[in-house]
Structure 1
Amino acid sequence: MKLTVPTLLTLLRIVLIPVLVAVFYLPYKWTNFAAAFIFAFASVTDWLDGWIARRYNQHSAFGAFLDPVADKLMVATALLLIVQKHPTPWMALWAAVIIGREIAVSALREWMAEIGQRAKVKVAAIGKLKTVVQMVALTVLLYSAPDRLGSAITLLFKIGDWMLAVAALLTLWSGFAYLRAAWPSLREDAKTS
């Protein structure tokens, strides 16, 4: 297996996950900025590895498998950290929606690939928009965790909270779009069973 630059960037994202967790829990004032920076950097490498792979034709089966895994692990970790620091019912709900959708869509894509219909559930524009909103929201929330900026919840945190709600709604919308695209195949399989 040849390690391409995009695959190395994806592996870097996975290595950054324990770094993000460790930095998030350090007892220093600058750790909110550092955690947000690590997450933002990882988000940029997600975009960059795809761009490099397309631009320089550095696709690999291992990279195609690992890239969505790295993304989902990083997002789930950031969500867990944020919910732990701000344990409200709404924040937990948004996190559950986002993580649940990721698991469901991954299972759907795996099943569609198994029956040779993977192309029907390829990434759509709404999924890309969801990713951008989600990454910005998580970066803002990591930076503005309320206990790090004083007892009052800052305006920045409220913005991040609302953006995460929008990301969760876009998550549901895009998940529904994937399910709708796969539905004929799901119904066909049910008829043959």
Structure 2
Amino acid sequence: MTLPTVPNTLTFIRILLIPVVVAAMFSNTQVGRWVAALSFCSACVTDYLDGFLARALSQTSRLGQFLDPIADKMLVATTLLLMAGFDKISRLAIIPATIILCREILISGLRETLSELDVNIPVSRLAKWKTAIQMLAIFTILIEDTTLPEKSYIGETLLWMAAILTLITMMDYLKRASRYF
């Protein structure tokens, strides 16, 4: 049995932080809101670190390539759904949240189909920015919920920006994948 790599361990930690975010949000207390925000932030840091360390330590693996994007999608989808369910985002902000979730489902299905064809389309730099902005948007909304007496729309504005990048990167991915169909 081989020991897990540091990057894969970080990915597993990100997955394990998801139930912490869920439980903290369900507690619906000030402490719970802080725990949710800080757990989400910690998970986002592991996302950056696992990729950085995988390349720096030459520890890329098929497991990591498979699990990393799934962990990201699980974290973002869970938190977006919780924020909508607990009215942490406005009704209008459900539109960019839905765009983000639908894109993730579409691209996951496309990646699965392409993997059956033994095709791997690398993540673009813009898609990495999209992920960073959507994680920043979610974190900002969570922090706004803990620190501000009235609703601020900074996080929701970032969420709209992430949704626009989501559509652009989706079209780019579909265009690059179309030659294989």
% identical aligned pairs: 40
The answer to whether structure 1 residue 180 and structure 2 residue 157 are counterparts is no
Cα drift, residue 114 of structure 1? 1.7
Q: Which moved more, 1:19-28 or 1:175-184?
A: 19-28
Q: Which amino acid aligns with 1:110?
A: E
2:161 paired with 1:160: no
User: How far apart, in 1, do the equivalents of 2:130 and 2:119 lie?
Assistant: 23
CA distance in 1, matches of 2:54, 2:128: 17
C-alpha distance in 2 between matches for 1:14 and 1:165:
25
Task: State the alpha-carbon separation in 2 of the partners of residues 88 and 43 from structure 1.
Answer: 23
Please tell me whether the aligned partners of residues 17 and 77 of structure 1 are also in contact (alpha carbons under 8 angstroms). Answer: yes
Letter in 2 for 1:80: L
Deviation (angstroms), 1:34: 2.0
Q: What's the TM-score once normalised by structure 1's chain length?
A: 0.86
Q: Give the alignment of 1:31-50 within 5 angstroms.
A: 31-50=32-51
Name the TM-score, length of structure 2 as normaliser: 0.91
Aligned partner of 1:191 in structure 2 is: none
Give 3-state SS (helix, strand or coil) of 2:118's partner: coil
Relative distance call for 1:182 and 1:27 in structure 2 (3 A) is closer
Partner of 2:7: 6
Answering whether residue 13 of structure 2 is matched by residue 18 of structure 1, we say no
Letter in 2 for 1:162: T
Q: How is 1:29-178 mapped onto 2 (pairs within 5 angstroms)?
A: 29-86=30-87, 88-118=90-120, 121-145=121-145, 149-150=148-149, 152-153=150-151, 155=152, 158-178=153-173
Q: Which has the larger radius of gyration?
A: 1
Distance in 2 between the 1:77 and 1:113 partners? 25
Give how far 1:63 is off: 1.8
> Alignment RMSD, CA only?
1.7
Structure 1 position 149, deviation (Å): 4.4
Residue 189 of structure 1 is matched in structure 2 by none
SS in 1 for 2:59: coil
Q: Which 4+ residue blocks in structure 1 deviate beyond 3 angstroms?
A: none
Structure 1 gap ranges (5+)? 187-193
Partner Cα separation in structure 2 for residue 130 and residue 7 of structure 1: 22
Q: Which amino acid aligns with 2:51?
A: G
Alignment deviations for residues 56-88 of structure 1 (CA, whole Å, 9 cap, x no partner): 111222222111111110000110111112264
- Counterpart amino acid of residue 52 in structure 2: W
Distance in 2 (alpha carbons) for counterparts of 1:24 and 1:85: 8
**Which is worse superposed, 76-85 or 137-146?**
137-146
* Cα offsets for 1:155-190 (capped at 9, x unmatched): 3xx00001001101100110000001112222xxxx
Distance 1:30 1:22 in 2: 12
Measure, in 2, the Cα distance between the counterparts of 1:64 and 1:29.
Answer: 36
